[in-house]
């Protein structure tokens, strides 16, 4: 019987489908065990890449929707409340986040992406007004001031009002 060494582990096996997967032109160069490990690693990398793209896409969609304004702006407290509920509260979220952080290699890209995602989400949400308190907690004066600011901004955008004059003292 013909024998063949696996190109990865170097162990010699019978050159049969019992030890090597079939390929278009015969049998693969890696034994079944090594090829399975190689394919599993490839699938893991593909999954991690897809997850990274989904996370980036989710942040981008959130920011785009929030920039429309109005009811599309989730307040930080509402956003975090839902996230915390899903993760089992603040402690549960912290545990999940830190587990993912410490399970990834020190100095690795995944750790950097975890931190970057949290920072980008917080910065974007704060920049578009999500850090303000929910409308139900606003006083009448705060609501009137916000309405006045938004109407003035809209009027200037539509060129219905001239831009404000800045006085230098």
pLDDT tens-digit series, residues 117-160: 888 877 876 777 766 777 777 888 988 888 888 888 888 878 77
Q: Could you tell me how many helices (H) and strands (E) the chain has, helices first?
A: 5, 4
The 10 Å Cβ neighbour count of residue 127 is 12
Token reading at 123: 């910065």
Rounded CA separation 50/55 (Å) = 9
Token reading at 52: 């990274």
On the question of pLDDT at 34 being above 90, the answer is: yes
Question: Tens digits of per-residue pLDDT, 49-74?
Answer: 888 887 777 777 766 666 665 555 66
On the question of pLDDT at 37 being above 80, the answer is: yes
Tell me the three-class secondary structure of 35-101, residue by residue.
Answer: HHHHHHHHHHHHHHHHHHHHHHHHHHHHHHHHHHCHHHCCCHHHHHHHHHHHHCHHHHHHHHHHHHH
Determine if residue 104 is left, alpha or beta; phi over 0 gives left, psi from -120 to 50 gives alpha, anything else beta. beta
**pTM (predicted TM-score):** 0.36
Residue from 27, 36, 37 nearest 4 by CA = 27
> Tell me, what's the pLDDT at 56?
79
């Amino acid at each position: 019987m013909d024998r063949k060494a696996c190109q990865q582990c170097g162990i010699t096996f019978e050159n049969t489908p019992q030890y090597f997967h079939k390929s278009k032109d015969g049998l693969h160069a890696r034994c079944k065990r090594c090829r399975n490990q190689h394919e599993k690693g490839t699938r893991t990398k593909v999954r991690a890449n897809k997850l990274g793209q989904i996370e980036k896409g989710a942040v981008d969609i959130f920011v785009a929707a929030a920039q429309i304004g109005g009811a599309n702006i989730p307040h930080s407290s509402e956003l975090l409340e839902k996230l915390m509920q899903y993760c089992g509260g603040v402690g549960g979220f912290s545990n999940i986040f830190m587990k993912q952080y410490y399970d990834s290699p020190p100095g690795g890209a995944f750790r950097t992406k975890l931190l970057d995602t949290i920072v980008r989400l917080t910065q974007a949400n704060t920049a578009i007004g999500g850090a303000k308190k929910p409308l139900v907690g606003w006083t009448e004066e705060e609501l009137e001031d916000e309405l006045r600011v938004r109407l003035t901004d809209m009027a200037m955008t539509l060129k219905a009002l001239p831009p404000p004059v800045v006085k230098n003292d």
